[in-house]
Structure 1
Amino acid sequence: MATLAAHSPEAPAPAHWSEQRMTEDDLAHIPGEGGYPLVGHTFTQLSGPHEFTRRMVEKYGRVYKVRSFGGWQVAMVGADANELMLFDREKIFSSEQGWGPILDKLFPRGLMLMDFDHHRMDRRALSIAFKPGPMRHYAGQLNAGIARQVKAWGEGNMTFYPAIKQLTLDLAAESFIGLPFGPEADAINQAFVDAVQASVAPVRRPLPFTQMRRGTEGRKFLIEFFSRETERRRAEGGGQDMFSQFATATREDGSLLPVDEVADHMNFLMMAAHDTITSSGTSLVWLLAKHPEWQEKLREELRAATDDTGMLDYDALGSVELTEMAFKEALRMVPPVPSTPRRALKAFEFGGYRIPAGAAVGINTHYVHHDPQHWPDPDTFDPMRFTPEKIKARHKYAWVPFGGGAHMCLGLHFAYMQIKVLMAHLLTNYRVELAGDKDPDWQAWPIPKPKDGLRIKLVKL
């Protein structure tokens, strides 16, 4: 195990990520490189982030510095690094100031961008939306919506990624917000698409005709909608959809969350949920199409678990263990969030290096998910890695697609449910085959997706 020790900094870290950046001198004792003039390694990392990380680890070890995206970052690579940052016993790391440069123009005050007591209070209030009662309601809506869309896909060739992206957006509008499929849901979906694309746009100011302008206009539309709807649902007593649960959630003292915070939480949740589910659902379908023997095992399990109408009931979700194991293996091979940034609020030691307060730091989930130290033959699809015995024998932080610690994804059980219901309707009605002659190339960052959209063929059973 690496040495983990927090230290009081000589001076407190600045209050906001934009107030200070580390210089090369601040990090002179940490190995690494600055890359090209002005741009550093920004384009190198964007074009091949996984290859870049492997090269840096081979050259410098599992703690290194790199200059990219306008400043210096310290990478900490390994399961121990995951545990240090995600569990964060000493409250060293700020998630708000780590994600802020990427998300705070479009998705500020989302749960992932909160720290410590504020995060704990809001997380506890929002957790009401994921209790068994609401989850049972969502399961019914997911079954109906997915069954309808899978039937509409029909047999034949299709491009899966855009199809499931539209499906997850529609399901989010229905299950999260309580809107039926239609023009209003379409307008909300488009606003989300614009905002998500703007979050990684190279031009960071909302200049005319830029993606950032479209994104900020989308955010304005969404915040106005969520604020107006929060007031209405409070007045009318809410409902079973997730938004109504959030709108009427209370903190420990019994007070309602401020309307603007409810709006920001919903805005962030919709973004986080549909993009990650789209990515992970696509990777699972790709891997099952490549491995028909596993597809058949899941099909047999799901047929036994679904009722006479083909629905996967809420109470049957726990019985589809192989389906869950296959999903976990897909999340290992293609984690939807490949890396996680933080900012050090105080100095600490890791891997024999002292990392100063104020440093931008990060862990690399994708690298650890493919580390032979924890995963023999890591490029092979093998759901049996997730038997209870193998999970118990492995480092607890060797598999972290949903994060960990206080910031563990609040909606992870919803994600499992949505994927299980999707597989129940897809695999019991169709055999899934790859339509192309070779595996798709994957865009690795910011959220993985196949560059060709994943061309598949559905064969009616």
Structure 2
Amino acid sequence: MSNTLVTGLRERVPTLTSVPLPRAVDNKVLNKTWPAEPFAEPPAGSGLKPVLGDFGAPFVGHSLEYMRYGLDFGLRRYERYGPVSWSGMLGERMVTLVGPDAAQQVLANGDKAFSQEGWHFFIDRFFHRGLMLLDFDEHKFHRRIMQQAFTRPRMAGYADHVAAAVRAGMSDWPTGQRLRMYWQLKRLTLDIAARVFMDAPPGGQTERLNRAFVDTVRGSTAVVRYPVPFGRWSAGLRGRRLLERYFTESLPAKRASDGSDLFTALCHATTEDSERFDDADVVNHMIFLMMAAHDTSTITSTAALYYLGKHPEWQERVRQESLALGDDLPDLAALESLHSLDLVIKESLRLMAPVPSLPRKAVKDVDILGHYVPAGSFVGLSPMVTHFLPEYWSHPMRFDPERFAEHRREDKSHRFAWVPFGGGAHKCIGMQFGMIEVKALLHEMLRTYRWKLPEKYQTRWDYVALPMPVDGLPVQLHTISGNAT
């Protein structure tokens, strides 16, 4: 089967949890309740409450409801059980936490009660020893070295490469026909990551690497977590092996290079104490960073494109800012000057958190908002639901970028009200790069195209892995006269 055909099938064949069902069936599944049970009995005399919840269906628990209904499922659980509950997910019992207070306890992690081992169950086989999976002193050591690849001068160089890659990548996008914009953007962000992170041109080897990254991400939430033929788990393991071979074989040349790409930067990154990464560290970090860089940017730019298509008044407002920059490729300072676009991106991150759940593992018995959670428990903080709590966000279902403007700053209602990038010691190290990439993508789209979505159109998101629109977000682009490149 040709690579083009395989790619086309992936883009068009829905996952089982996204297959259309009659609304009555969806409502019945979503509204089904299971008897509440305590997660664990609190120690006598502790004064703590048990965490209430339910496992759901045998073996799979509530995995399928989460994958299909996402936010709706999370809000239903919150309404029934409150900010601390538990449910069955992929055969495991997981405590779910909602709200800024819980987020502060987990992300600040002042008593070191939570480890990143919560991620291991989902992604360690595919993103082994990526920065996000490391803990405490070891994480601090690796982050200190990696920070050398994300300095201000480095970011300025990355921004130049991103802007050039975006303009080149969009130059042949067809107009006058419906494009599945999620997949258009995904291919482009993968090409950008390959260019900026590896100094690799599009096509050929890059296409193989791109498919491997897609397979590893989707493998992380496979319900059948064994290497059965044609399964997502097997495909993810194959993808990991391909990526390891590529980066390992490329290491000697990158060690000897003085290039400006991230791969070279990690090979040479050194702290003032002469600490640096060994070869295995560089390979593991590159595989993780490539995944993190393109997936979150794809999701955020897709969400922003969707909301700008639904709200043409905002599309025109941010377009005027972009047109005011002229036709030159934007540098870092120019991208940072796009203030209205910054508001749109932040609101898109609130409405569609690219990482809906942040898993942790309790390394000791812990009191979470007065509830007893024993050592060894899987814990998942939910930015997805936290971003919709009306106590912190006015009209939370409404697209309202002005909520992030200086005269309102609803994100400052609590230090951890807005957590799309996590927080604390594990706050996303590539947060600034991600914002630059999304701004560059949207800036180029705004100065080149117009688009509009039908008033009654509502995209539905698939949560089988990271969020993606079930239909790929079909959009028809129209070239702006005089600004096509």
CA shift, 1:211, in A, is: 2.7
Which residue number in structure 2 is paired with residue 144 of structure 1?
164
Q: Which moved more, 1:27-36 or 1:221-230?
A: 27-36
CA shift, 1:290, in A, is: 0.5
Q: Does the CA-based 8 Å contact 2:350-2:420 persist in structure 1?
A: yes
Secondary structure at 1:323 match in 2: helix
Instruction: Find out whether 1:257 has 2:277 as its counterpart.
Output: yes
Instruction: Find out whether 1:371 has 2:394 as its counterpart.
Output: no
Which residue number in structure 2 is paired with residue 205 of structure 1?
226
CA shift, 1:149, in A, is: 2.2
Which residue number in structure 2 is paired with residue 51 of structure 1?
72
Q: Does the CA-based 8 Å contact 2:145-2:271 persist in structure 1?
A: yes
Which of 184, 187, 203 is the aligned partner of 2:205?
Answer: 184
Distance of 1:252 and 1:217 partners within structure 2: 38
CA distance 1:340–1:330, change in 2 (3 Å): same
CA distance 1:403–1:130, change in 2 (3 Å): same
| Residues 289-328 of structure 1: pairs in structure 2 closer than 5 A | 289-304=309-324, 306-307=325-326, 309-328=327-346
Instruction: Find out whether 1:380 has 2:398 as its counterpart.
Output: yes
Instruction: Find out whether 1:405 has 2:424 as its counterpart.
Output: yes
Q: Which moved more, 1:260-269 or 1:151-160?
A: 151-160
Residues 3-47 of structure 1: CA distance to partner in whole angstroms, max 9, x if unpaired?
Answer: xxxxxxxxxxxxxxxxxxxx9555793222232334332333333
Instruction: Find out whether 1:99 has 2:119 as its counterpart.
Output: yes
Secondary structure at 1:456 match in 2: strand
Distance of 1:211 and 1:362 partners within structure 2: 23
Instruction: Compute the TM-score of the two structures, normalised by the length of structure 1.
Output: 0.90
Any unmatched runs of 5+ in structure 1?
1-22
Q: Does the CA-based 8 Å contact 2:461-2:469 persist in structure 1?
A: yes
Q: Does the CA-based 8 Å contact 1:125-1:252 persist in structure 2?
A: no
Q: Does the CA-based 8 Å contact 1:201-1:211 persist in structure 2?
A: yes
Which residue number in structure 1 is paired with residue 27 of structure 2?
none
The one-letter code sitting in structure 2 at the alignment partner of 1:80 is: D
CA distance 1:130–1:283, change in 2 (3 Å): same
Distance of 1:385 and 1:56 partners within structure 2: 26
Instruction: Find out whether 1:217 has 2:238 as its counterpart.
Output: yes
The one-letter code sitting in structure 1 at the alignment partner of 2:50 is: H
Secondary structure at 1:332 match in 2: helix
Distance of 2:310 and 2:98 partners within structure 1: 30
CA distance 1:361–1:110, change in 2 (3 Å): same
Distance of 1:195 and 1:444 partners within structure 2: 15
Which residue number in structure 2 is paired with residue 396 of structure 1?
415
Secondary structure at 2:270 match in 1: coil
Secondary structure at 1:156 match in 2: coil
Which residue number in structure 2 is paired with residue 422 of structure 1?
441
The one-letter code sitting in structure 1 at the alignment partner of 2:88 is: R
The one-letter code sitting in structure 2 at the alignment partner of 1:220 is: R
Secondary structure at 2:93 match in 1: strand
Distance of 2:437 and 2:316 partners within structure 1: 20
Instruction: Compute the TM-score of the two structures, normalised by the length of structure 2.
Output: 0.86
Instruction: Find out whether 1:460 has 2:482 as its counterpart.
Output: no
CA shift, 1:437, in A, is: 5.9
CA distance 1:42–1:193, change in 2 (3 Å): closer
CA shift, 1:447, in A, is: 1.4
Which residue number in structure 2 is paired with residue 239 of structure 1?
259
Q: Does the CA-based 8 Å contact 1:149-1:167 persist in structure 2?
A: yes
Instruction: Find out whether 1:343 has 2:361 as its counterpart.
Output: yes
Distance of 1:215 and 1:36 partners within structure 2: 26
Residues 149-169 of structure 1: CA distance to partner in whole angstroms, max 9, x if unpaired?
Answer: 222114223220110000011
Residues 180-220 of structure 1: CA distance to partner in whole angstroms, max 9, x if unpaired?
Answer: 12312122212212222222222222233333222212211
The one-letter code sitting in structure 1 at the alignment partner of 2:427 is: M
Secondary structure at 1:65 match in 2: strand
CA shift, 1:315, in A, is: 2.0
Q: Does the CA-based 8 Å contact 1:62-1:78 persist in structure 2?
A: yes
Which residue number in structure 1 is paired with residue 194 of structure 2?
173
Q: Does the CA-based 8 Å contact 2:39-2:51 persist in structure 1?
A: no
Distance of 1:118 and 1:262 partners within structure 2: 15
Distance of 1:132 and 1:295 partners within structure 2: 30
Distance of 2:443 and 2:260 partners within structure 1: 24
Q: Does the CA-based 8 Å contact 2:70-2:462 persist in structure 1?
A: no
Distance of 2:477 and 2:61 partners within structure 1: 45
The one-letter code sitting in structure 2 at the alignment partner of 1:133 is: P
Residues 297-340 of structure 1: CA distance to partner in whole angstroms, max 9, x if unpaired?
Answer: 10111112x24x34212221221111111100000001111111
CA shift, 1:418, in A, is: 0.9
Residues 385-433 of structure 1: CA distance to partner in whole angstroms, max 9, x if unpaired?
Answer: 1113433741111100011111111111111111111122111111121
Which residue number in structure 1 is paired with residue 45 of structure 2?
none
Q: Does the CA-based 8 Å contact 1:106-1:215 persist in structure 2?
A: yes
Q: Does the CA-based 8 Å contact 1:311-1:424 persist in structure 2?
A: no
Distance of 1:373 and 1:24 partners within structure 2: 27
Q: Does the CA-based 8 Å contact 1:238-1:247 persist in structure 2?
A: no
Percentage identity across aligned positions? Answer: 38
Q: Does the CA-based 8 Å contact 2:176-2:477 persist in structure 1?
A: yes
Which residue number in structure 1 is paired with residue 290 of structure 2?
270
Distance of 1:352 and 1:116 partners within structure 2: 25
User: How many residues are matched?
Assistant: 435
Which residue number in structure 2 is paired with residue 4 of structure 1?
none
CA distance 1:436–1:111, change in 2 (3 Å): same
Q: Does the CA-based 8 Å contact 1:310-1:425 persist in structure 2?
A: no
Which residue number in structure 1 is paired with residue 111 of structure 2?
90
The one-letter code sitting in structure 1 at the alignment partner of 2:160 is: G
Any unmatched runs of 5+ in structure 2?
1-37, 43-48, 481-485
Distance of 1:317 and 1:80 partners within structure 2: 33
CA shift, 1:365, in A, is: 0.7
The one-letter code sitting in structure 2 at the alignment partner of 1:237 is: S
Q: Does the CA-based 8 Å contact 2:149-2:266 persist in structure 1?
A: yes
RMSD: 1.9
Distance of 2:252 and 2:371 partners within structure 1: 51
Distance of 1:269 and 1:136 partners within structure 2: 18
